[in-house]
Amino acid sequence: MAEDKTKTTVPVKAGDIRPFGAIPVPRVTPELLSMVRTGAVYSLEQIVEPGIPFWDGHPPLVIAPYVRHGDMPELAPASVGNEITTLPMHGCTHIDALSHIGKWVGGEIELHGGVKVKEVMSRAGYSALGAENFPPIILRGILLDVAASHGVEVLPDSYGITGADLKRCEESQGVTVRESSAVLIRTGFSKYWRTDNARFSNKGAGINIDGARYLAERKIAMVGTDTEAVEQWPFDPEGPPLPVHTYMLVDNGITHVESLYLDRLAAARAYEFLFIALPLRIRGATGSQIHPIAIA
Amino acid sequence: MAEDKTKTTVPVKAGDIRPFGAIPVPRVTPELLSMVRTGAVYSLEQIVEPGIPFWDGHPPLVIAPYVRHGDMPELAPASVGNEITTLPMHGCTHIDALSHIGKWVGGEIELHGGVKVKEVMSRAGYSALGAENFPPIILRGILLDVAASHGVEVLPDSYGITGADLKRCEESQGVTVRESSAVLIRTGFSKYWRTDNARFSNKGAGINIDGARYLAERKIAMVGTDTEAVEQWPFDPEGPPLPVHTYMLVDNGITHVESLYLDRLAAARAYEFLFIALPLRIRGATGSQIHPIAIA
Amino acid sequence: MAEDKTKTTVPVKAGDIRPFGAIPVPRVTPELLSMVRTGAVYSLEQIVEPGIPFWDGHPPLVIAPYVRHGDMPELAPASVGNEITTLPMHGCTHIDALSHIGKWVGGEIELHGGVKVKEVMSRAGYSALGAENFPPIILRGILLDVAASHGVEVLPDSYGITGADLKRCEESQGVTVRESSAVLIRTGFSKYWRTDNARFSNKGAGINIDGARYLAERKIAMVGTDTEAVEQWPFDPEGPPLPVHTYMLVDNGITHVESLYLDRLAAARAYEFLFIALPLRIRGATGSQIHPIAIA
Amino acid sequence: MAEDKTKTTVPVKAGDIRPFGAIPVPRVTPELLSMVRTGAVYSLEQIVEPGIPFWDGHPPLVIAPYVRHGDMPELAPASVGNEITTLPMHGCTHIDALSHIGKWVGGEIELHGGVKVKEVMSRAGYSALGAENFPPIILRGILLDVAASHGVEVLPDSYGITGADLKRCEESQGVTVRESSAVLIRTGFSKYWRTDNARFSNKGAGINIDGARYLAERKIAMVGTDTEAVEQWPFDPEGPPLPVHTYMLVDNGITHVESLYLDRLAAARAYEFLFIALPLRIRGATGSQIHPIAIA
């Protein structure tokens, strides 16, 4: 499965649309549009505000007025306001770029496709596999409400979702994981968003390596959850760290969407839909904050 | 035209979808989907990177690795990277929230709908009309390539686009500005993006108050341009400052999308399309960076 | 006591040395040098690092490598490193500028000397009474170890230090508060620095309004403590908020040094010394992080 | 010349005073105090404000109100203000920590004393040779006004100051470089501070390797200039990059103070004085902004 290196080494320009790992160039076919049945739109983003949970290895959250209305009397009778922000992007509803996760191979760290970190990482960010490479994401999406298929409001702390769990959920809902789908998995952990941040961040249910293999074998385009890590947290201490991240992003180019808000989609039993996410193209970044939607 | 204050005073929660000024709650009707003809997708975002043009009243652009791959040997064989960013959001491809522009009325500053700045502005941002109020934006979009209809590659510096200019462009292209449309206006100024930033920022062609009235009378949902200000820059020194911003955002609740990349859309003569933008829901912010698309 | 407005309205240039409130222009007289007896030097700064206590109204603490050694191979065989920092200056060992505290007079906020906030505050900071006005501070310093004079390791939580407490301490130590002295008051609260931040920040012993009057009447130049607020925290809920800050900074131009490290000075019973602090001259800022010293 | 590794590996605590490279633990002896003749104090710091010159590899300068007076009505009649700052510390008047400069030895980068970067650099900064190690700096200082001894207002662009230049200057002024002195060298380049930033940053006069050797052989404690780099800029393209930085900081532990304001000191012909600088103790940082003074 030779990676075409030109994909990663010719810098993207405005307007360019390329595949990025398993995320294909969007083609809005009649088949894809047939996902739209009622036309109802669901917003899947958690609101970004002080008090959201995130790992303290991410930068802190600052949202502060910078120019305030009234600051520039020379513009009267008009006035303007803006703000300065520093955000823990990976703590907001976001999508990981393939530059986010690597693995040690020999004495070096490699990203997806064998890209060597030492050749692409600099103080300017990542010259390959950065967020600027995201195409618009327009896919068949499915929701697997694993919490519901387990008959619980929220999965147990640190529950590891297996392939069998996913399969059972598909069957109970009557939907199927298919190639190039965006698979959204609901654990119910949104319940702890801003109400029990330690639990949200440190005890998340999520897919384990078995669940990850189940999805990768079906050649999905991306996977998202209503948790901070997509993968079971903490991961199995007997095995290597971050097994799902490594397997999905590095080995398979399948990226993660984290901290989704899925409760209304689940309440509506909207299990198949048109999924749209439009990642920001910030050159060299390791991901992008997004406001994904489902149109059912 | 009484503004329903409840719209602005009950804080939005995750999943809530409400109108925001002239932007309606999305309804993905068959009529709207009929805008999709070939299924071709256009990315309308300028890439965010060092060297982009923006007003120095916005915060500076910082994109710097924070955790770098290799920093956390305890995760081996996995590795992770992230970054710290401070971005001049209003200098990236973005959409203005209605909290961005106000006007002095008596001795006070009011935002759209008569919301008084002093009642909603705090060090936490804006408790009304902030970016968290954006619904997903899914609209009929049209491109008015005013540069092309003038037979030029780029409009002259500081050119003021009038209603007559817009009408002539509609006629030459065979499209019509209609209620609830997203109107994208091309001036050609993307040519100066990162190649002549002073010109891009200080000499932008744009609609003047006559052009703005033309659009507002047709009850459009939003207007965007490939310039920094949407409005003619500098504005007419004989009149009040920021006349278009004030008229559109404050008086009419019609927001602006700025620094769009429209060249490929124009080259394809894709004049009518499904327009989608998914603004980030950052509580209290004055706008949102976006990656808008057109599906033609 | 008319304030000379020229002092505050002609911007300071590099090299200018002026008084700032009660802090005089330094004159290094033989009398002042006579404070130096053994020549021993004490460092009175708490080290700035993650985990220090501070009020969450201050910006968060970020200290992160920006350029790292190895990032610029073009400089080999040399290499350089730097960092990006955002610091909660008022949570570090620091000195308040007179722009830091104001009080409402009529419908307006005034700073020291009747300077109206609305005339000097802008998005660029404060055009009067900002940190750039600090002269080098070289004064007779005294330590009042109130904890020791009370026979305790640490004063009780929220203890309000009175004038009588200060007087008793002077007598027990054999030192006297005099005009133009830098008065450093030890409560013992450094014990809680990074070990019990909630207590350090929310329960600090400190001078009450009686103690403040005692010091102001003696025309001191500045006062510092080993606590976050100098004043008793929380202040008396029966009275107005921040009575000591208001009385000292606004009414008397006597500024505060906070979060000092005084334990070794106290252990050495060094009660009189040459005090030196060299505030950074950041134009428009509300204070300056400092590394003050005592030479005994 | 065995480096005592305990110096660098036992973390400094508040109050600890240790030597740092060539900077000794301060001892305020009568001999040192004899430098004080008239008692006149000179401020040697450039004011920090928008528009100062610095290399764009440093973080940008942000000084913006964060809490503004009036933001917290619950504190009335008191009010408070603070700010958020991100500063290009190495572009302000500052002192380099020994963690700032390294050199490649074999395939590794070493700092002063053979400290290996890979063992001490992390996302938390530098666990050895960081700014927290600075003692208070109290030294005999001398000014070498090389511009004056050359009979010019400002040295020529990129002029390389040699040992012979320094010797001639000492003789003309009647002062001598001695062991443990703080040597301040005036080029006149302050003239370009904020008036011709490109020249200040890119064409600085400074010592060349010959001048550096002259100083190091005399075992000075530190060297400072009124330029951005201390060393001739650009350095000799025939030789290795940053020869003076590498020789002084890495090989000799002699640190640099940059962007000093020396004009008034020079105008007063104050060539020998008590030099005091009190670097902030920010754990892991590569230097510290300072407000140095001379007492003559």
Mean pLDDT of B156-166: 98
Helix axes C163-173, C209-217, angle to 10 degrees: 60
Q: Flag whether pLDDT at B3 surpasses 60.
A: no
A50 near D CB under 8 A:
no
C-alpha span between D194 and D179 (Å, rounded): 35
Q: Which of A80, A126, A295 sits opposite B28 (nearest CB)?
A: A295
Mean pLDDT of D255-269: 98
CB A157 within 8 A of CB A201: no
Identify the pLDDT of residue C272.
Answer: 98
Q: D190-197 — which CB contacts under 8 Å span 24+ positions?
A: D190/C14, D190/D46, D190/D226, D190/D260, D190/D261, D190/D262, D190/D263, D191/D153, D191/D154, D192/D53, D192/D154, D193/C14, D193/D46, D193/D52, D193/D53, D193/D259, D193/D261, D194/D51, D194/D52, D194/D53, D197/D51, D197/D52, D197/D53
Mean pLDDT of A206-229: 98
Confidence of residue A93 (pLDDT cuts 50, 70, 90): very high
Q: Flag whether pLDDT at D4 surpasses 80.
A: no
Identify the pLDDT of residue C10.
Answer: 86
Tens-digit pLDDT profile for residues C76-112: 999 999 999 999 999 999 999 999 999 999 999 999 9
Confidence of residue C9 (pLDDT cuts 50, 70, 90): low
With CA atoms as reference, report the closest residue to C256 among C268, C270, C269, C242: C242
Confidence of residue C226 (pLDDT cuts 50, 70, 90): very high
| Token representation of residue C251 | 């009414």
Q: Which of B86, B126, B280 sits opposite A291 (nearest CB)?
A: B280
D68 CB neighbours in chain A (<8 A) are 68
C-alpha span between C26 and C43 (Å, rounded): 20
Q: Flag whether pLDDT at B2 surpasses 50.
A: no
C-alpha span between A121 and B81 (Å, rounded): 10
| Average pLDDT across chain B, whole number | 96
Instruction: Give every CB contact of residue D61 below 8 A, 6+ residues apart in sequence.
Output: D48, D50, D52, D54, D86, D87, D88, D91
Q: Which of B23, B43, B236 to mutate to test binding with chain A, by most A CBs within 10 Å of its CB?
A: B43
A70 near C CB under 8 A:
no
Chain position carrying tokens 């200098």: B91
Q: Flag whether pLDDT at B218 surpasses 80.
A: yes
CB B223 within 8 A of CB B185: yes
Q: Flag whether pLDDT at C281 surpasses 60.
A: yes
Q: Which of C63, C241, C261 sits opposite D284 (nearest CB)?
A: C63
Mean pLDDT of C17-42: 97
Mean pLDDT of B19-32: 97
Q: Which of A14, A46, A89 sits opposite B47 (nearest CB)?
A: A14
Confidence of residue A115 (pLDDT cuts 50, 70, 90): very high
Q: Which of A83, A123, A126, A127 to mutate to test binding with chain C, by most C CBs within 10 Å of its CB?
A: A123
Identify the pLDDT of residue C37.
Answer: 96
Note whether C101 contacts D83, CB cutoff 8 Å: no
Q: Flag whether pLDDT at B6 surpasses 50.
A: no
Where is pLDDT greater, at D91 or D8? D91
Tens-digit pLDDT profile for residues A40-87: 999 999 999 999 999 999 999 999 999 999 999 999 999 999 999 999
| Average pLDDT across chain A, whole number | 96
Q: Flag whether pLDDT at D173 surpasses 60.
A: yes
Tens-digit pLDDT profile for residues D91-105: 999 999 999 999 999
CB C202 within 8 A of CB C234: yes
Mean pLDDT of D108-127: 97
Q: Flag whether pLDDT at D2 surpasses 90.
A: no
D76 near A CB under 8 A:
no
Q: Which of A59, A64, A71 sits opposite C122 (nearest CB)?
A: A71
Q: C67 to chain D: nearest residue by CA?
A: D57
Mean pLDDT of D174-197: 98
Q: Flag whether pLDDT at A132 surpasses 90.
A: yes
C-alpha span between D129 and D10 (Å, rounded): 11
C-alpha span between C213 and C217 (Å, rounded): 6
C-alpha span between C168 and C36 (Å, rounded): 25
C92 CB neighbours in chain D (<8 A) are 280
Q: What is the distance in angstroms between the Cα of D68 and the nearest Cα belonging to chain B?
A: 8
Note whether D291 contacts C285, CB cutoff 8 Å: no
Identify the pLDDT of residue A8.
Answer: 52
Confidence of residue A10 (pLDDT cuts 50, 70, 90): confident
Strand partners, D63: D85
Q: Flag whether pLDDT at B237 surpasses 70.
A: yes
Q: Which of C48, C103, C111 sits opposite D282 (nearest CB)?
A: C48
Residues C261, C267, C270, C274: what is their CA dihedral angle, to the nearest 10 degrees? -20
B242 near A CB under 8 A:
yes
Q: Which of C71, C84, C123 to mutate to test binding with chain B, by most B CBs within 10 Å of its CB?
A: C84
Q: Which of B87, B117, B122 to mutate to test binding with chain D, by most D CBs within 10 Å of its CB?
A: B122
Confidence of residue C8 (pLDDT cuts 50, 70, 90): low
Q: Assign residue B84 a region (left: φ > 0; alpha: ψ between -120 and 50; beta: otherwise).
A: beta
Q: What is the distance in angstroms between the Cα of D129 and the nearest Cα belonging to chain C?
A: 12
Helices (H) and strands (E) in chain C — how many of each? 10, 18
3-class DSSP state of C65: strand
| Average pLDDT across chain D, whole number | 96
Q: Flag whether pLDDT at A6 surpasses 50.
A: no
Q: Which of residues 202-241 of A touch B (CB under 8 A)?
A: 240-241
Tens-digit pLDDT profile for residues A175-193: 999 999 999 999 999 999 9
C-alpha span between C170 and C149 (Å, rounded): 9
Q: D71 to chain A: nearest residue by CA?
A: A65
C76 near D CB under 8 A:
yes
Query: Which ipTM score applies to this complex?
Result: 0.96
Q: Which of C62, C122, C123 sits opposite A59 (nearest CB)?
A: C62
B55 near C CB under 8 A:
no
Q: Flag whether pLDDT at B170 surpasses 80.
A: yes
Mean pLDDT of C184-207: 98
Identify the pLDDT of residue D208.
Answer: 98
Where is pLDDT greater, at C9 or C121? C121
C-alpha span between C57 and C51 (Å, rounded): 16
A68 near C CB under 8 A:
yes
Q: Flag whether pLDDT at B1 surpasses 50.
A: no
Note whether D66 contacts B123, CB cutoff 8 Å: yes
Mean pLDDT of B177-182: 98
Identify the pLDDT of residue A286.
Answer: 98
Q: Flag whether pLDDT at B5 surpasses 60.
A: no
Confidence of residue D8 (pLDDT cuts 50, 70, 90): low
C-alpha span between D265 and D173 (Å, rounded): 13
A190 CB neighbours in chain B (<8 A) are 14
C123 near B CB under 8 A:
yes
Note whether C78 contacts D295, CB cutoff 8 Å: no
Q: Which of D15, D28, D67 sits opposite C43 (nearest CB)?
A: D15
Q: H-type helices in chain B, by residue range?
A: 5-9, 30-33, 117-120, 146-149, 163-173, 197-202, 209-217, 243-245, 252, 263-267
In chain D, pLDDT over 70 holds for what percent of residues? Answer: 97
- Which of the 8 DSSP states describes residue C102? E
Mean pLDDT of D191-201: 98
C110 near A CB under 8 A:
no
Identity at C65, one-letter amino acid code: P
Q: B58 to chain A: nearest residue by CA?
A: A82
Identity at C205, one-letter amino acid code: A
Residue B289, classified by CB atoms within 10 Å of its CB into exposed (0-12), middle (13-18) or buried (19+), is: buried
C68 CB neighbours in chain A (<8 A) are 123
Tens-digit pLDDT profile for residues B60-105: 999 999 999 999 999 999 999 999 999 999 999 999 999 999 999 9
